[in-house]
Structure 1
């Protein structure tokens, strides 16, 4: 086998694994990577990183971590910053925040310097694990390492604060973005609105929604669902129905979450007829009623019966 042919085959395999990563074909990516030594092809850092990323996209964090550990056996090449970032992203997707932090902490021992992508993935892992304090600590460590937090870093930290019930901290982080010369985007706004919703701050959530409109930040289904849910917490059933009915104007199709939140708002507001009407209209909107939808409607009817 000539050197030219080996190089061409190696490039072909690397490209194929990269395509598998983009298409979420983790089994095929793993099979190609594992089969390279039999063809006398040596995987490199980019090949291994693509395979680990394919595992990450499919939620196969165990396999992604295994590939990182097996890199010496597969390629005789030490993992680099790219492969570690891919592995941490795989652990983030799997909600394995402890393992993600372990990998991040191991990098300096290998003389690997984490970058913004690495830290953002670790912060997001903490967010998924409900570790808002650790997420903020990582965000604060970035400047100490000469790294500038980006929109993804802040978005993950804002979301972590929201999940931890720290709506004040989430709102402060969002307010800090312009001073950091970072763009307030859809992701950060969604995270802040969700934080307000969990903190029962419906006025602030709707204020952020209006600000998105004024600054021409497009809202998506996540935005609307969080805003409708905030209305539920504040028993603002009219606003919840208004937001639900306005979704098609933004070319957004209400889903089960949207409708269930609006039904719950009607239930909390004591309007069982609206709750029941919305439940019956869900199939017309191609939204499938779930346990939350039915329970909210039943509760609304029961409250209507008790106070009639």
Structure 2
């Protein structure tokens, strides 16, 4: 098979695994850079990063010279598979061979490090790029932005550096930067959003949603809802993520009616599991157990499967209303669905049984919790002590706590 046809086959996204293996083990005379790049990329498309590296080494064994382009293809394959350490090793190998690197190679390696949470390494690569007098691109700044998780001071410094460059930043940069901020930096998130809009950078719903989420995490519900309003004013259609953040913001402010109104306005196409869970949590925070159960039922009717968060929020809502039978029924339903129980749901059931005067059932679930690997929280302990006090059953209480005496001293 000649080189042109071979490269064409390797670039075929539907290339069968067996044929790729056969082509990769062929002898190429002389070895071709085009074949090497196409082969590395073919293995990457099949999520076979180890074979991408193996193919590169096989081509070197056939006397193909090491080159920036072939190594860049391999670095890209490592980035796609989250193999940041191998991406760095390939970049270091090029530097050891004194091959001049380009911005694209640095960008790809930085993205690999950021996706693998090797944030320090990504930032060091950015400094290397600048020290090598290479010109950064919008992709460069977006890649390093992904590595600045939670470090808002560095995020602000990065924006300042970008201003002094000739690079026109895009929405991807700002959304990545905002998404990496924690709740304490919600004012920084608002400032970044305002800066982006002042620059007339075309926004997208992800930018607004990221900013809303940061505000919502900090319980700055007024700011979060203000952003949601701005989205609609600027004729942006909020997506499921934006609605989820807005509903959650209402929930934290105990504005359950507002949460329901937003949830209804989203419509079926813009509701997902997260949106439903946010709405159920909003009902729980306002002690609206019947509305929480109605939302859980609507979730099933919309052919969505409730997750652990959805169930636990509904169970907690029932606990606040002392609806112990409903809380137990939801716990049983979770088990039937094969969902992994957590201490939040089990503690809420214990508390619901206590509030309903069912001290024996409260102790039954407490014993189950104490024998598991789940954390025995203060809610469960208080509920159990309260149940025993009502029934004057201190001996039962001590027998349940006995398995954990060694832990407590």
Report TM bin, short chain: 0.7 to 0.9
What's the counterpart of residue 298 of structure 2? 211
What's the counterpart of residue 348 of structure 2? 261
What's the counterpart of residue 228 of structure 1? 315
Q: Following superposition of structure 1 onto structure 2, how do residues 55-204 of structure 1 map, counting pairs within 5 Å?
A: 55-56=148-149, 59-71=150-162, 77=167, 79-91=169-181, 93-178=182-267, 182-204=269-291
Q: For 1:247-272, what per-residue CA distance to the aligned partner results, in whole angstroms no more than 9, with x for missing partners? A: 12222111111111111212221222
Distance 1:26 1:247, change over 3 A: same
- Using the alignment, how far apart are the partners of 1:271 and 1:61 within structure 2? 49
Larger Rg: 2
- Using the alignment, how far apart are the partners of 2:137 and 2:383 within structure 1? 54
Give the drift of 1:76: 5.3
Q: Structure 2 stretches of 5 or more lacking a match?
A: 1-66, 70-98, 394-409
Distance 1:18 1:302, change over 3 A: same
Give the drift of 1:240: 1.0
Distance 1:81 1:221, change over 3 A: same
Whether the 8 Å contact between 2:183 and 2:216 is mirrored in structure 1 is no
Whether the 8 Å contact between 1:53 and 1:64 is mirrored in structure 2 is no
- Using the alignment, how far apart are the partners of 1:127 and 1:41 within structure 2? 39
- Using the alignment, how far apart are the partners of 2:156 and 2:357 within structure 1? 51
Of structures 1 and 2, the one scoring higher in RCO (CA 8 A, sep 6+) is 1
Structure 1 runs, 4 residues or longer, greater than 4 Å off: 2-6
Structure 1 residue 37 corresponds to structure 2 residue 124: no
- Using the alignment, how far apart are the partners of 1:265 and 1:198 within structure 2? 15
Whether the 8 Å contact between 1:104 and 1:114 is mirrored in structure 2 is no
Q: Structure 1 stretches of 5 or more lacking a match?
A: none
Whether the 8 Å contact between 1:255 and 1:286 is mirrored in structure 2 is no
Q: For 1:265-294, what per-residue CA distance to the aligned partner results, in whole angstroms no more than 9, with x for missing partners? A: 122212222222212212554322123322
Q: Secondary structure at the match of 1:32?
A: helix
Give the drift of 1:173: 0.9
Q: What is the number of residues matched between the two proteins? A: 298
Q: Secondary structure at the match of 2:148?
A: helix
Q: Secondary structure at the match of 1:55?
A: coil
- Using the alignment, how far apart are the partners of 1:261 and 1:76 within structure 2? 56
Whether the 8 Å contact between 1:254 and 1:285 is mirrored in structure 2 is no
- Using the alignment, how far apart are the partners of 1:244 and 1:100 within structure 2? 39
- Using the alignment, how far apart are the partners of 1:276 and 1:227 within structure 2? 21
Structure 1 residue 245 corresponds to structure 2 residue 338: no
What's the counterpart of residue 11 of structure 1? 104
